[in-house]
Structure formats: structure tokens, C-alpha cells
Amino acid sequence: MPSVNPFSWKFVAPLYMGSTLNPINSSMIATALVPIAAFMHISVAHTTILVTALYLASSIAQPTAGKLSEEFGPRRIFLVGILMVLLGGLLGGVGRDLTMLVVARVLIGVGTSTAYPSAMLIIRRRAEFAGMSKPPGSVLGALQIAGVVTGAVGLPIGGVFVEAWGWRTTFLVNIPFALVAFVMAALWIPRDEPIEAAKSVREISSRIDVAGIIGFAATMTALLVFLFSLPNPTWVALGLAVVLGAAFIWWELRVKHPFIDVRLLATNLALTRTYLRFASMTLCIYTVLYGVTEWLGGARGLSSLETGLLLLPMSGLSALVVGPISKRNLVRGPLLVSAASSIVASIGVMFLRTSTPIIWILIITLIFGVTMGTMASGNQTALYTQVRAEQIGTASGLLRTFGYTGSIASSALIGIFFHTKVSDSGMHHIAIIMVAVSIIALIMTISDRRLRPSNKGDSATA
């Protein structure tokens, strides 16, 4: 049996470090696009493929890593992912053309995507082995801080690195972090159970549903191509996404071991609502991270470093909010606060002007910090209680996929209204949509009968 504290600092440290790499890499690259374009003598528009590559790779790799963790062991998948991050950092650090950088970003995206779903599975198994009847709230809260809240930290970190040592450091910084995370995981995370050697290639392919993974990847690729094409929509991509999605669902309903349990999503509506809430709130939060950032730079003339520092308190407040909520395993209350605070802050964005004092912009972003913290902790605890232990890896990865879909939708939204010019009116139109999305999330939470308060706080039921 494990020690009195099954989640010692040695056990959780590599899980937390690994989980920070994906959100930080997602946002850090934004500060390097302009210098990369200048170095390679291409337009900044061409370098945005570096953002797209990581989003696409991550949205596909998150549930895939969860499925592989369930089949082959989460520690093994975690270590393989860290090695991919190391390789991506090296390749990007010496990259001479855009193709090399795109490959590096894909490696980083896939590698960092293994951390969260494998960590969730490791934590769930550890908790059950220790005989814990409730989710380990403090551990899940810290994991959520590492896996979501740190996204805003990437902007100022990237700004400092690019200004001090150039754009290559946004890739090279992954190397020391990956090495430390790998060593800690190899030494401190217990080994997985041995893999059954008798399994044939065909049986392994069936168990992990290779065809389902390919179908999911194709569907997500077509959908994201459509979203990234806005405001000039590629309707062929949308039509292809619908056809591929229908074929994917048809296949998943017929295989013995589906990659995504479609029946589970149809019957476990509480889990489906968790995914939709997470996607909608992520849309609003990433619109602030990137839309307000772009508005501050384009309309007010602030540098990337200055806007990153302005948003840093938002990340800090959200981290403070996550702790006590996760420790008590609260769900319904935080989700109500998340939607309500998003409505209030989005209304505040509707009244922003280029002449608005910085202090008011800071207050609005701090309210969104409350939104981020309550959204992250509430939805993660809900998911933990809504799926069985053997499903937690894939389910956690799929939660992140919904989050990436929301963030990509926010990028499309920003592209539509800032297509010709970054302006106050464009920001206000975006804010109206954010208010509408937040209201829908609030209604969805209020009407969700599966989010029932327990004696000591809110807890989601299965």
C-alpha cells in the first residue's frame, strides 16, 4: 500500500511540470511570429501556421494519448511524450525554414498532449489504490493550475525570451524542462503493469481502434481547417467535416472497443454538458487572451511584453481561485460563478475604448481570472466523477479537445471582426457574442439536474 500521503511531492511534481508545457507552448509562440517572419523573409500570415499546427496536433493527440495510456500504461505514454517534446525543442531551435519549425511544433503539440490525460489516469488509479472515496481535490486543483491557468504565463515569458535572446528560445526552452520532467517521472512515478506480450498487431489495433483514431483525426482536421479559414469560409472543409464525422460515429457505434464511446456521450448527458460548458467558457477566455491582446497592441500600441504582463494578474488570480474550490471538490457553485462572471466581464469589454484607463482593463481581466479558475476546477471535478476509472484517460483528453475547439473558435471570431482593422467596434461585436455564449453556459448549468449539492459542497453525480 502507498504511504500515508499517496500523493507525495515526488509523485506529483513530474505530472505538474509535464502538464504546464502544452498551455505555455500554445501561447508563447505568439510573441515569436513577427521575428520568425523577419528571419525567414516571409509574411507574418504565413507564420501563423505554427499556431495552427500545435492546435491541430494537440486536439487530436489529447484523447489519443488518453486511449494509449489506458491500453499501454500512462507512465510509458507520459515518458514517450516528454521525449517528443525534447526532440521538437531541438528541431525548432536549429530550424532553418518554416517546414522544420512546423514539424517541431507538431512534435511539441503531440508530446505535450500526453501529459494531462496520462496524469489524470495515474492520479485516478493512485486514488483508488489508496482507497479514496472522493476525488483528490488538492491534487486535481494543482494539475488544473498547471494544465490550463499557466496558458496566460506564456505571453510574458515568450516576450522576455524573444526580446533577450531571440525567437529560437521559444523552442529551446522546452529542452531543460523536458529533461527534468523525464528524469523525475522515470524515478518517481511507479512503473506500469507489464504489457501482455501475446497480443498480436491486429489485436492491439482493434483494442486501441486505429481506424477510429484516424477517422477522428480526419474529422478534426477538416473542422479546424474550416474554422481557421474564417472570415473567408472554406465550405468544402465544413462539408467534409460533416461527412467524416458521420462516418466516424457510424464506425464507433459498431466496433467492440471504440476510441470515443459515442454511446457514452449519448447516454451520459452530464458528461456531454461538461464538454460543452468547457468549450464555451474556453472560447470566452481565449478571446480575452488573444482578442484583447491584439486590441491592446493594434488599437493602443502596447508591446507583446506589456500586454502579456497586463494579463498576468488574470492568471495569478485564477490560480488562487482553483485551490480552495478543488480542495473541497466543488462543482455546481463554481460553474455558476464561472458563467456569471464571464457575463459581467464580457459586458465590461463592450464598453472598452482606446481611451479607457489601464486600471479598468485590468479589473475586467481579473474578473475573467475568476471565470478561468472556477471553470477549470469545476469542470475537471465534474468529469472525474462522471466517468469510470478505465475511461478517465480518453475522457480527459477529449475534454482538452473541446477546449481547443473553443480556443480555435475564438481565433476564428477574432479573425472575422479584426479582419480588416483592429478597432473598438470590432472588440464590441466580439463582446456581444461572448455575452451570448456566457448566458447559454449559465442556463445550461442552472438547468443541469445532475449537478447536485452534497452536504459539504457541490458535487457532480455520475
So what's the pLDDT on residue 225?
86
Strand, helix or coil at 459? Answer: strand
For the CA atoms of 101, 103, 109, 110, the dihedral, rounded to the nearest 10 degrees, stands at -160
Task: State which H helix or E strand residue 458 sits in.
Answer: strand 457-460
Q: Give the model confidence (pLDDT) of 87-143 as tens digits.
A: 999 999 999 899 999 999 999 999 999 999 999 999 999 998 888 878 888 898 888
Q: Read off the C-alpha cell for 38.
A: 523577419
Contacts of 14 (CB under 8 A, 6+ apart): 78, 181, 184, 185, 188, 189
CA distance linking residue 14 with residue 114, whole number of Å:
13
- Mean pLDDT over 342-350 rounds to 95
Q: Give the model confidence (pLDDT) of 245-265 as tens digits.
A: 999 999 999 988 888 888 878
- Mean pLDDT over 418-440 rounds to 90
Burial of 164 (0-12, 13-18, 19+ CB in 10 A): exposed
So what's the pLDDT on residue 455?
42
pTM score, whole prediction: 0.85
| Nearest by Cα to 227 from 43, 401, 413, 437 | 413
Q: Give the model confidence (pLDDT) of 164-223 as tens digits.
A: 898 999 999 999 999 999 999 999 999 988 876 656 667 777 788 889 999 999 998 998
So what's the pLDDT on residue 106?
94
- Mean pLDDT over 60-87 rounds to 94
Q: Give the model confidence (pLDDT) of 170-182 as tens digits.
A: 999 999 999 999 9
Contacts of 240 (CB under 8 A, 6+ apart): 222
Q: Read off the C-alpha cell for 391.
A: 475511461
Q: What percent of the chain has pLDDT over 70?
A: 94
Q: To the nearest whole number, what is the mean pLDDT of the chain?
A: 87
Relative orientation angle of helices 9-28 and 154-165, to the nearest 10 degrees = 70
More confident: 27 or 22: 22
CA distance linking residue 155 with residue 3, whole number of Å:
39
CA end-to-end span of the chain: 28
Query: Does the pLDDT of residue 460 top 70, yes or no?
Result: no
So what's the pLDDT on residue 333?
93
So what's the pLDDT on residue 116?
92
